[in-house]
Amino acid sequence: MHFILEERRGCKARVAGREITIFSSNDYLGLSAHPEVIAAASEAARSFGVGTGGAPGTTGTTAVHERLKNQIARFKSRDRAVLFPSGYQANQAIHQALDSEQTVFFIDRRHHPSAMDGVRLARKSRVVRFDHANLEELEKNIGDNKNHTCVVSLPSVFTVDGDIAPLDRLVSLKKKTGFILILDEAHATGCLGKTGRGIEEHFNLRGAAEYLMGTLSKAIGSQGGFLAYDESNSHYLTSFFRPYEYSTSLSGVSAAAALKAIDLINSGPSLLGSLRKAKAAIVDECKNCGIDIIHGESMIMLLPCSDSERLQASLFEEGFLTITVEAIVGGQMRGCLRITPMALHTAEDIGAFARALENYKELIN
């Protein structure tokens, strides 16, 4: 189904004239609807307008952009951060900027298309695909290319099924082979780790990656992307970031919203605690209804279905918006609902959702 949202505020939206509750949003912490985030965005619009009118090197950098860059660098424990209009561009940019005749990219087979587009733009380099569940194969392939600059790139949290990269094992392999590591933190930032700082905090391995790519459009609730890295790793770059230099900057509105959102994440554990509580409640309420949702430590959960599109349409009639995906379950590609919690989900929202699923158990397996 294709949904056109006529209004949206947090986990509630209006579609085709009716109110629905969203259970497949990437706005995990509900910060896009937080009153302080909206106020910060509104103030930026009054001060700078709704667009920047130029690339970062012309008229596209405001004081808000500078503060946001510094805040992201601190949040990710890095020396610097670079902002992009989208996370897609950030992922493209870092792979393209590492291009050289000596570079071999090792890209996880289930990496995001933005990373794959980035290595396609890195035309001097070679690409080897790997599976993060088989690091022995990765080690062998790196050994076969030991005279090259080896770059390993994968998501911290995989978009479709929520699988988490085995960073502890990757770091052990990195110490043996010396590869450069890029981590895509799109679904980890704000969700993973004790304070939401991502996969390095989750594994207590800060500084593990040379480059952290991320987005402002998911748990941070705004729009845009970033790269965070230490100055000591700048020498790996064979060029600077073309999507940064030649794109109009993300708006000051988006930058100000992201800046306030990160301030709120930093202010204490309540937001992340609410998100984790909502996830646990979804799992428990569904289990009480005889429905087992596939879940791990990330915020992305799967519900395998015999007819995912029919279940999605049925749930919409009950007042719930979900999305369908194709995912590998039990070694087979299956149709699933991709379910995500939000910090804004109430016990009533979750209970009603579980009861709605119970009405269609014949479609769930």
**3-state SS record for the chain:** CCCCEEEEECCEEEECCEEEEECCCCCCCCHHHCHHHHHHHHHHHHHHCCCCCCCCCCCCCCHHHHHHHHHHHHHCCCCEEEEECCHHHHHHHHHHHCCCCCEEEEEECCCCHHHHHHHHHCCCCEEEEECCCCHHHHHHHHHCCCCCEEEEEEECECCCCCCECCHHHHHHHHHHHCCEEEEECCCCCCCCCCCCCCHHHHCCCCCCCCEEEEECCCCCCCCCEEEEECHHHHHHCCCCCHHHHCCCCCCHHHHHHHHHHHHHHHCCCHHHHHHHHHHHHHHHHHHHCCCCCECCCCCCEEEEECCHHHHHHHHHHHCEECEEEEEEECCEEEEEEEECCCCCCCHHHHHHHHHHHHCCHHHEC
pLDDT tens string 55-65: 999 999 999 99
Average pLDDT over residues 5-34: 96
pLDDT tens string 162-216: 999 999 999 999 999 999 999 999 999 999 999 999 999 999 999 999 999 999 9
What local confidence, expressed as pLDDT, does residue 12 receive?
97
Rounded distance between C-alpha atoms, residue 271 and residue 267, angstroms: 9
Residue 238 reports pLDDT greater than 90? no
What local confidence, expressed as pLDDT, does residue 69 receive?
97
pLDDT confidence band for 30 (50 / 70 / 90)? very high
pLDDT confidence band for 331 (50 / 70 / 90)? confident
Taken in order of first residue, the domains within the chain and their CATH numbers are 5-33+269-363 (3.90.1150.10), 35-266 (3.40.640.10)
Residue 1 reports pLDDT greater than 80? no
What local confidence, expressed as pLDDT, does residue 169 receive?
98
